[in-house]
């Protein structure tokens, strides 16, 4: 960390530089700068008219050791190439699919994410989408609002589906997946899972493939990390294996599902319903979904609760640890 200068004040040029690839999540980068500009020299290329490359040319890229980004900004190999002294990439998200992790590893750049900060919130959202879909809450709300239902017998509204007894397959039993399981068990759901590896201390049945999981479940909750192996892990074959009464929830990343096939399956009646907080081409949503009452949509707000108030502190904790050569608080890639 920067030493105090002789007259007891920190000069900005002495502070460690942190590049903010913004604008970042609501209020996050603003609060960070308001609270911590005495500790770090934050650089804001998004507030400049210059391209990132030109901005960096003006700010001596060899002296920038750290980046803070959000999922809206890809940290590609090209971006990394502009920063020869980079040693740390921080992201405000749990997902890291916007970061070229392979290149970070190759260059010995450490990476940290939001850890489990939002896991409960995202799990709440998964369960909410599932209950909403099965019990048709949003559909009922629309039904009441869109026409004057005071004069329509309410028993004309279609039957919903029970949550208890449903066989729920969790795709990705990380910290979000575990929170989903923890929430659904008391509802009487029967949990099983697929993950990259069988989890040692977990008693839920493990399926080695998503296809096998789908074939033995009524519901899939998708919450694994997006990477080369998991892109379109939910494909047509998996959807058909889940079946006509099946329900899919996605709170991970849109690209985990082959969205085109999913829309097709929903239109053909090959899948019972779905709840999405994430989409393949955000902010674009396939128009067909807007017409489906068996689909619940939400605009990628799973992590957006008051938990966000803690993201600044977590990011600063990681920055302080890094500049003091201490272990990162929420490491994903450590230096060798
Ligand atoms: O989508 C949000 C996250 O990955 O935290």
* Residue among 179, 253, 259, 261 flagged as catalytic: 253
Mean pLDDT, rounded, of the chain: 93
The order of strands in the sheet holding 66-69 is: 41-43, 17-21, 66-69, 88-91, 110-112, 331-333
- 176-218 pLDDT per residue, tens: 999 999 999 999 999 999 999 999 999 999 999 999 999 999 9
Whole-angstrom distance, CA of residue 72 vs CA of residue 70: 5
Are the C-beta atoms of 233 and 171 separated by less than 8 Å?
Answer: yes
Categorize the per-residue pLDDT at 1 as very low, low, confident or very high, splitting at 50, 70 and 90: low
Based on the residue annotation, tell me whether 253 is a catalytic residue of this protein: yes
Residue 24's pLDDT is 86
Are the C-beta atoms of 99 and 91 separated by less than 8 Å?
Answer: yes
What is the arithmetic mean of pLDDT over 255-265?
98
Q: What CATH class is the domain 119-297?
A: alpha beta
DSSP per residue, 213-253? HHHT-SEEEE-PPPSTTTTT-B-HHHHHHH-TT-EEEE-S-
Q: Kindly give the interhelix angle for 175-184 and 119-135, rounded to the nearest 10 degrees.
A: 40
> 210 or 58: which carries more pLDDT confidence?
210
- 226-257 pLDDT per residue, tens: 999 999 999 999 999 999 999 999 999 999 99
Contact residues for 1 (Cβ-Cβ < 8 A; gap 6+) = 16, 39, 320, 323, 324
CB atoms under 10 Å from CB of 221, counted, come to: 30
* Ligand 1 neighbour 192 (Cβ under 6 A): no
Delimit the domains of the chain by residue range. 2-117+306-323, 119-297
CA of 156 to the centre of ligand 1 (A): 39
Based on the residue annotation, tell me whether 261 is a catalytic residue of this protein: no
Residue 7's pLDDT is 46
Q: Which atom of ligand 1 is nearest to the CA of 93?
A: 5
Q: Reply yes or no on whether the pLDDT at 2 is more than 50.
A: no
Q: Please report, in angstroms and rounded to a whole number, the separation of the first and last CA atoms in the chain.
A: 22
Residue 49's pLDDT is 94
Backbone angles phi, psi at 80, to 5 degrees: -60, -35
Which residue from 112, 289, 304, 130 is spatially nearest to 222, judged by alpha carbons?
Answer: 130
Residue 225's pLDDT is 97
Residue for token pair 């902010």: 283
* Topology of the domain comprising 2-117+306-323: Rossmann fold (3.40.50)
* Residue among 4, 185, 268, 282 flagged as catalytic: 282
Categorize the per-residue pLDDT at 308 as very low, low, confident or very high, splitting at 50, 70 and 90: confident
ipTM for the whole complex = 0.93
Q: Which atom of ligand 1 is nearest to the CA of 300?
A: 1
Residue for token pair 């201490």: 326
What stretch of H or E contains 145? Answer: helix 137-146
* Residue among 59, 149, 236, 300 flagged as catalytic: 300
Backbone angles phi, psi at 306, to 5 degrees: -65, -10
């Amino acid at each position: 960390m920067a030493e105090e200068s002789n007259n007891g004040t920190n000069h900005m040029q002495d502070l460690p530089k942190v590049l903010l690839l913004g604008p970042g999540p609501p209020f996050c980068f603003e609060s960070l700068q308001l609270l911590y500009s005495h500790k770090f020299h934050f650089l804001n290329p998004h507030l400049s008219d210059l391209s990132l490359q030109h901005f960096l040319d003006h700010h001596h890229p060899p002296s920038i050791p750290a980046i803070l980004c959000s999922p809206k900004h890809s940290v590609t190999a090209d971006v990394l190439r502009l920063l020869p002294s980079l040693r740390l990439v921080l992201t405000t998200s749990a997902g890291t699919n916007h970061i070229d992790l392979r290149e970070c590893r190759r260059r010995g750049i450490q990476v940290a994410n939001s850890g489990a900060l939002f896991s409960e919130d995202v799990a709440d959202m998964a369960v909410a989408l599932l209950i909403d879909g099965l019990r048709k809450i949003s559909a009922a709300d629309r039904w009441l609002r869109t026409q004057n239902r005071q004069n329509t017998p309410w028993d004309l509204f279609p039957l919903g589906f029970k949550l208890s007894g449903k066989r729920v397959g969790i795709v990705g039993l990380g910290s979000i997946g575990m929170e989903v399981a923890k929430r659904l068990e008391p509802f009487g759901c029967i949990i099983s899972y697929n993950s990259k590896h069988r989890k040692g201390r977990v008693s839920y049945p493990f399926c080695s493939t998503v296809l096998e999981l789908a074939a033995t479940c009524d519901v899939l909750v998708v919450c694994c990390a997006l990477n080369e192996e998991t892109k379109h892990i939910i494909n047509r074959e998996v959807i058909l294996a889940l079946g006509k009464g099946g329900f899919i929830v996605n709170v991970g990343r849109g690209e985990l599902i082959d969205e085109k096939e999913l829309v097709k399956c929903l239109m053909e009646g090959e899948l019972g319903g779905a709840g999405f907080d994430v989409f393949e081409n955000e902010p674009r949503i396939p128009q067909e979904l807007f017409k489906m009452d068996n689909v619940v949509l939400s605009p990628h707000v799973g992590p957006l609760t008051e938990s966000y108030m803690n993201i600044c502190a977590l990011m600063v904790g990681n920055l302080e640890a890094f500049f003091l050569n201490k272990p990162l608080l929420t490491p994903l890639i450590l230096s060798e």
